[in-house]
Amino acid sequence: MKSLNERFGLAVRQQRESRGWSQEQLAERADLNRSYVGEVERGSVVPSLATIAKLAVAFDVSLSGLLADCDPLLRATADPAL
């Protein structure tokens, strides 16, 4: 089973790719370094809550929604209005 970091990274990558953005474009929108975005997507770093919030704002999704994307159990119960 993949670690939470790996699952979150996959969720970020899927969000980014669904928009047709490069890692550099996401990094600019989230005010993050491009190489750090790559590390997040690979699951090799543990992003802070502030970083996760920046990513959620960049994607125009709720923080809880972005987190729910990395856990099938949370996704089933996530409130899309949050």
Domains for the chain: give ranges and CATH numbers.
4-69 (1.10.260.40)
Q: At what angle do helices 23-30 and 34-42 cross, to 10 degrees?
A: 110
Q: How confident is the model at residue 75 (pLDDT cuts 50, 70, 90)?
A: low
Report pLDDT for 73.
Answer: 52
What digits encode the pLDDT tens for the residues 2-49? Answer: 888 999 999 999 999 999 999 999 999 999 999 999 999 999 999 999
Q: Measured between alpha carbons, how far is 62 from 7 in angstroms, rounded to an integer?
A: 17
Q: Is the dihedral of CA 14, 18, 19, 22 positive or negative?
A: positive
**Cβ atoms of 66 and 2 closer than 8 Å:** no
Report pLDDT for 82.
Answer: 44
